[in-house]
Amino acid sequence: MMSSDLKTSTQPKPAISATEPDWERETLRKWWEPNRQLLKSIRAYQKWSKHSGPFAPFRKAVATIQYRFWSVVTGAEIPLNSQISGGLLLPHPNGIVIHPKASIGPNCLIFQQVTITGYVQIGGHVDIGAGAKILRKVKIGNHVKIGANAVVLSDIPSYATAVGIPARIIQQTVAESDDSSDMLEDD
């Protein structure tokens, strides 16, 4: 695909933030929501790992037991020490594998059978389609869409849509009043 084939358009700034987590997206609506229960147990473990006191080890142990239960129910492999910002949605968490060194920004959406390897940096409000694989040390910008079964091997700039094996950018939009950086900053 030549660069002249790349579709570029201008659209209004997305309503979902790439910087501020929307915690409402993770809120339990009923007890049997394994996807949200799994995230709740990970958040509880991380919270109690930072606390000290007589009850902290007990609460941390309870969160670990809950995490193990919900990991089995969902079939997801998301480590307790994951670097996941708030507002993550996992509609069907079956088969999701996230490396503990991967970093996921706020308000992302990850569908089933997604694999994210180590040292991947995912920006805010990124939608990852079912079966997608994000391999190597790559950076994915804000407001990106990754198609189902895509294999990402290189960086993807903000506001892009990538599909295919290997993933190619098929569309990149430019927000009218975007105040965020084009790509994530280097460490």
Q: State phi, psi for 132 to the nearest 5 degrees.
A: -70, 150
Residues 106 and 22 sit within 8 Å (Cβ to Cβ): yes
What does the mean pLDDT of the chain come to? 87
Residue 180 banded pLDDT, cuts 50, 70, 90: very low
pTM value is 0.82
Question: In this structure, what are the phi and psi dihedrals at residue 84, rounded to the nearest 5 degrees?
Answer: -120, 125
139-165 pLDDT per residue, tens: 999 999 999 999 999 999 999 999 999
